[in-house]
Amino acid sequence: MIYSENILICIAAPLLIAAIFLRGEARRFAVFFTVGMVICLLSAYISGFLEFAGMMEADKIPLYVSPVVEESMKVLPLIFVLLVIQPPEEGLFLGSVALGTGFATFENCCYILTAGSENLTYILVRGLAVGVMHLVCVLMVILGTILARRTRTFSLAAFVGALSTAMCYHSLYNLLVSQPGVTSIIGYVMPLFTVGVLTVPYRRIRKEI
Amino acid sequence: MSGFFLYNLNNIVQIAVLLYLSYRNLRNLQQKGPWVPAVLFMFILVTLLATGFYWVTHELMTGTSLYAFSAMDIGEIGIFLLLSALLGASFKEPLSRDLPALAAALFFAAGNALLWGAWNGHWAQDIASGLFLWVLVYTLIRGLKRTGSLSRPVWSAFGIGSAGIFALQTAAFMTGSTFGKIFDFASEVIWFAGIVYLMLRVIRILRQDLPDEGLIGLACAASTWIVCTMYMSSNPYYIIADLCNTITFVLLLLVLERKWGETV
């Protein structure tokens, strides 16, 4: 058993203190990175509660519950920022990337503390597959948010539609890696491949904003 | 294993086609032109790919039935919303409120959702899907009304056809085996008549290069009608409708490319 809250305090404390001395984008990155870690912990609480409440068998939680809970939780800070601060699109990108990276980092820390860090293959998989998958999902949602801003009257449809895409993608990843074999290898490669694909709309949107 | 591939052949073909469409759409995105519809279409393709791949992988790995609100259901709801957004983004002016359209969309969506629930017993997920179908159909009706893409007799035919399908499917559900199959077949005839009409209409406009502002609306309507057919059909009708759905997404890309060409 690990004490995730203690790990969070240990990693977040220097980041938050550093944020006092930072300005502009660097500060935004540090804050969103920390928020991403907090969101990861809260998502684990909710998924754990649902498992404890006997809603589903433990092996089904990562396939059905975690993707929905985690993606919905990641969206909450972005909605708050959108409604309260209304940042420019460039700022939204930066915030979402930091949030996704923070989420993935904290999850990786907890897994490594549980399973150990001796196996380099396992560490690479955690870093390049799961870590990147969380980033990809947040980027999908943020692309959807930017689309929602552009489509105006159908903003909710575009936003929730993009969120559904991220949930679907996350579920597929969890399903693929749930058993060893060819499917898990496809699952591990999928996030890096998707990053390559996402760079095309990202570059295009960067030109426009 | 070969049995598995035969059973899932339509899914595998669909994944291959969607991968090609995604590549072509990405290539379009790199060029100049309106990027909002292209990115929305990319989201639709990714969701379709993820759900198709999820289904095949789940079948291959577990062979068990899916729980309610799985990635498949979430993806299907997402596609309804993304199609609405794609259609909405194709108009310069926002679509105005229209009470008769809202009522007609409610009739269509509620009829479908109630029958899905009656057939499979998953009431919660079917009602949720029905609500999002309502959003999509409402957008479609308003969009097609604005562009005048469907004539009054065609609107009437779709209205009467929908009512006929609901009546026949209810009768099939109530009567059971022998008569049920006849009613079911009759409703499939109406579903497929709608599919053939909408697909041929889109192909005709595309091939003859006829002007039609509502082309995206027609392609989205074809896709929606096909999805509703699939949800209310068993094999082999389901597989045929699924293949039609794949063709519709090819048509939708061609429609977007044509729009793209007009704007550049």
pLDDT in tens, A115-153: 777 788 888 888 888 889 999 999 888 888 887 777 766
- The dihedrals phi and psi of B209, each to the nearest 5 degrees, come to 55, 40
Residue B80 binned pLDDT confidence (cut-offs 50, 70, 90)? very high
- Counting the structural domains of chain B, the total is 1
What does pTM read for this prediction?
0.89
Domain containing residue B153: 2-258
Q: Which among B29, B71, B135 has the least Cβ separation from residue A168?
A: B71
Q: Which among B26, B50, B82 has the least Cβ separation from residue A161?
A: B82
Phi-psi domain of A54 (left: phi exceeds 0; alpha: psi -120 through 50; beta: other): left
Average pLDDT over residues B30-57: 85
| Whether B74 and A197 lie within 8 Å, measured CB to CB | no
- The answer to whether residue B34 sits within a structural domain is yes
Q: Which among A140, A153, A168 has the least Cβ separation from residue B74?
A: A168
User: pLDDT for A62-91, tens place per residue?
Assistant: 888 888 899 999 989 988 888 888 888 788
- The answer to whether residue B147 sits within a structural domain is yes
Shortest CA gap B186–chain A (Å) = 34
pLDDT computed for residue B264 by the predictor: 42
- Counting the structural domains of chain A, the total is 1
Q: Does B50 touch chain A (CB under 8 A)?
A: yes
| Whether B94 and A153 lie within 8 Å, measured CB to CB | yes
* A164 contacts in chain B (CB < 8 Å): 47, 74-75, 77-78, 81-82
- The answer to whether residue B263 sits within a structural domain is no
Contact A161, A168 (CB under 8 A): no
Shortest CA gap B152–chain A (Å) = 27
- The answer to whether residue B159 sits within a structural domain is yes
User: pLDDT for B184-202, tens place per residue?
Assistant: 888 889 999 999 999 998 8
Contact A75, A39 (CB under 8 A): no
Burial of B147 (0-12, 13-18, 19+ CB in 10 A): middle
Q: State the Cα–Cα distance between residues A192 and B71, nearest whole angstrom.
A: 21
- The answer to whether residue B250 sits within a structural domain is yes
* A185 contacts in chain B (CB < 8 Å): none
Q: Does B131 touch chain A (CB under 8 A)?
A: no
Q: Which letter does DSSP use for residue A60 in this model?
A: G
Q: Does B151 touch chain A (CB under 8 A)?
A: no
Q: Does B140 touch chain A (CB under 8 A)?
A: no
How high is the ipTM of this complex? 0.86
User: pLDDT for B228-253, tens place per residue?
Assistant: 998 888 778 888 888 898 899 999 88
